[in-house]
């Protein structure tokens, strides 16, 4: 969990309303302007660009902490034949159509939006969100977006090995905590696909091309990548035959030009066993425990550290049509002592939970702040297959047939920690959360994905009266669901108001009417 600082809003609940320009601070680090809405007013704060992976428009915050379940907008999906077939518009022109006010802030109104069509519906996605969802998968890549030849900074060598194979040698500029088969698969798409690599590089080249004309504050712009016949999943605002995408949740039918990838990293080592004494350290704290707080002292920089703390953030799902075979190659050696144990650091033992100050800037030699990384990547073959299609159609029926209601629909990943956290094909299990409000009542409808034919009833719970209380209750429900092997916890359910609704074989209209009768 990461607490964002500076945070001028005290304990008020605020929403991330829009993302503005980037600028370089005197310490030569890039920052980005982020607008939060509180009580129908906007306040813009400047944050390190390394936070870009977790900055989602329409998400609610309190005390610098993100809410997972409380977001504006409704889930949707679309099939896009040619992603490049579209045009660039100014944010103010698009937002007007949705009555989404930018409060006359130039840094917000002049942002660029990519508009394209699919099945007679026009979709609009902020270019910052396109960059965030496709390219800013972690802190390291976010910082490299504005570095010339940024992707090359992470590798010592990358080359094709035969017609369908490639080898990628990563260096220590890539934290060891980031290296896994998912990241290698994703990086191969970024680096080996010429069009995608050029799109990534266009973010930096656009900034420097515009710097001569616009001093100080610059908008992030990207050459939209050449993607074809993709299904996209999103959270957005819908009005008539237009959609403004606030968050891109997934995109499938992605291809890479090889079927096999071998990779190496200095942290991946051959083990060489010796008879020297083993060290046993006591009294060291666990760096993964406790809350992380963002460093707000710009004079202090992150230190170089390949073993960075990693926060699991809400991922975007990338569906690869033909996943490649990934193999790690061990090019370095590590001595493993197998002799008698001796204690090298005496102490009371055990870790302590405490708040830790962390940085998301580019690390330097001699830095004092512990660096932090994000894990926001989910690799799959496709976006469908969660078994939520019927539920989504039912919620859409409620929206269409009850215009007096305010209805939103979001998709949330279940907490990790148990077998039930994943569906059989390895993907994270998700829960669809619909928020339905009338003039007198608000309720949440929870539908857990069960493509493996598990029996989990639809759950309806009333609001707790505030965003923070609703967030706490829903997250507690999902956590107990996971740790109860996919069953709504009887002991916990006895302490809260709720209605469990059995699944029946019926049309979306009948299901929707039944749910509406139960709620109202």
Phi, psi (rounded to 5 degrees) for 482 = -65, -45
The structural domain count of the chain equals 1
Question: How many whole angstroms separate alpha carbon 305 and alpha carbon 369?
Answer: 10
8-65: pLDDT as tens digits:
998 999 999 999 999 998 888 999 999 999 988 999 999 999 999 999 999 999 999 9
Asked whether residue 502 is assigned to any structural domain, the reply reads yes
Asked whether residue 381 is assigned to any structural domain, the reply reads no
Strand partners, 446: 433, 459
Going through 381-489 in order, the beta strands assigned E by DSSP cover: 406-413, 430-437, 442-448, 458-462
For position 352, what pLDDT does the model report?
47
Asked whether residue 510 is assigned to any structural domain, the reply reads yes
Name the nearest CA neighbour of 406 among 208, 176, 238.
238
Asked whether residue 303 is assigned to any structural domain, the reply reads no
pLDDT per 10-residue tile (average), the chain, 520 residues: 93 96 90 95 96 97 96 94 95 96 94 96 98 96 95 94 92 91 95 95 92 72 94 94 96 93 90 69 49 89 84 90 90 68 56 73 88 90 86 94 92 92 91 94 95 92 95 95 91 89 91 92
Asked whether residue 475 is assigned to any structural domain, the reply reads yes
- Strands 112-118 and 121-126, how do they pair? antiparallel
340-384: pLDDT as tens digits:
776 665 544 444 455 689 999 998 888 889 999 999 998 888 788
Asked whether residue 419 is assigned to any structural domain, the reply reads yes
Asked whether residue 172 is assigned to any structural domain, the reply reads no
pTM of the predicted protein model = 0.91
Which strand (E) or helix (H) includes residue 419?
none
For position 491, what pLDDT does the model report?
83
Asked whether residue 117 is assigned to any structural domain, the reply reads no
Question: How many whole angstroms separate alpha carbon 5 and alpha carbon 46?
Answer: 10
Residues spanned by the domain of 406? 389-519
Q: Quote the tokens at residue 73.
A: 């907008």
Strand partners, 361: none
**At CB < 8 A and 24+ separation, what contacts does 87-96 make?**
87/114, 87/115, 87/116, 88/112, 88/113, 88/114, 88/115, 88/127, 88/221, 89/113, 89/115, 89/124, 91/18, 91/126, 94/124, 94/244, 95/244
């Amino acid at each position: 969990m990461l607490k964002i600082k500076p945070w001028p809003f005290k304990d008020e609940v605020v929403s991330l309303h829009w993302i503005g320009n980037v600028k370089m601070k005197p310490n030569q680090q890039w920052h980005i302007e982020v607008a939060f809405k509180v009580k129908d007013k906007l306040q813009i704060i400047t944050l390190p660009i390394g936070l870009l992976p977790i900055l989602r428009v329409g998400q609610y915050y309190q005390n610098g902490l993100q809410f997972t379940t409380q977001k504006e907008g409704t889930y949707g999906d679309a099939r896009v034949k040619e992603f490049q077939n579209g045009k660039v518009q100014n944010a103010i022109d698009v937002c007007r159509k949705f009555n989404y006010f930018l409060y006359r802030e130039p840094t917000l109104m002049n942002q660029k939006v990519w508009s394209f069509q699919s099945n007679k519906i026009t979709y609009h996605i902020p270019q910052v969100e396109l960059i965030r969802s496709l390219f800013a998968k972690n802190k390291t890549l976010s910082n490299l977006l504005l570095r010339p030849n940024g992707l090359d900074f992470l590798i010592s060598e990358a080359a094709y090995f035969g017609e369908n194979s490639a080898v990628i040698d990563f260096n220590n500029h890539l934290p060891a905590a980031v290296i896994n088969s998912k990241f290698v698969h994703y990086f191969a798409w970024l680096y080996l696909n010429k069009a995608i690599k050029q799109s990534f590089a266009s973010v930096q080249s656009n900034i420097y091309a515009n710097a001569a004309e616009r001093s100080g504050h610059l908008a992030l712009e990207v050459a939209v990548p050449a993607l074809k016949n993709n299904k996209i999943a999103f959270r957005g605002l819908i009005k008539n035959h237009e959609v403004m995408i606030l968050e891109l949740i997934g995109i499938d039918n992605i291809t890479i030009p090889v079927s096999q990838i071998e990779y190496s990293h200095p942290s991946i080592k051959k083990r060489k066993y010796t008879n020297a004494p083993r060290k046993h350290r006591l009294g060291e704290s666990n760096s993964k425990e406790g809350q992380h707080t963002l460093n707000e002292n710009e004079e202090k920089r992150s230190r170089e550290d390949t073993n960075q703390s990693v926060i699991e953030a809400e991922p975007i799902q990338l569906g690869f049509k033909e996943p490649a075979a990934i193999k790690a190659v061990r090019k370095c050696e590590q001595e493993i002592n197998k002799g008698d144990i001796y204690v090298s650091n005496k102490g009371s033992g055990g870790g302590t939970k405490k708040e830790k100050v962390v940085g998301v800037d580019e690390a330097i030699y001699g830095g004092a702040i512990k660096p932090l990384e994000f894990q926001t990547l989910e690799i799959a073959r496709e976006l469908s297959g969660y078994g939520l299609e019927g539920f989504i159609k039912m919620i859409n029926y409620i929206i269409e047939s009850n215009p007096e209601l305010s209805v939103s629909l979001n998709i949330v990943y279940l907490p990790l920690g148990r077998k039930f956290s994943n569906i059989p094909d390895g993907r994270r299990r998700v829960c669809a959360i619909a928020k339905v409000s009338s003039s007198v009542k608000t309720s949440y409808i929870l539908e857990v994905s069960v493509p493996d034919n598990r029996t989990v009833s639809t759950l309806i719970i009333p609001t707790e009266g505030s965003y923070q209380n609703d967030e706490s209750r829903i997250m507690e429900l999902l956590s107990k669901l996971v740790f109860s092997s996919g069953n709504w916890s009887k002991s916990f359910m006895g302490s809260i108001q709720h209605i469990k609704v059995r699944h029946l074989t019926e049309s979306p209209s009948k299901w929707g009417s039944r749910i509406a009768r139960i709620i109202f």
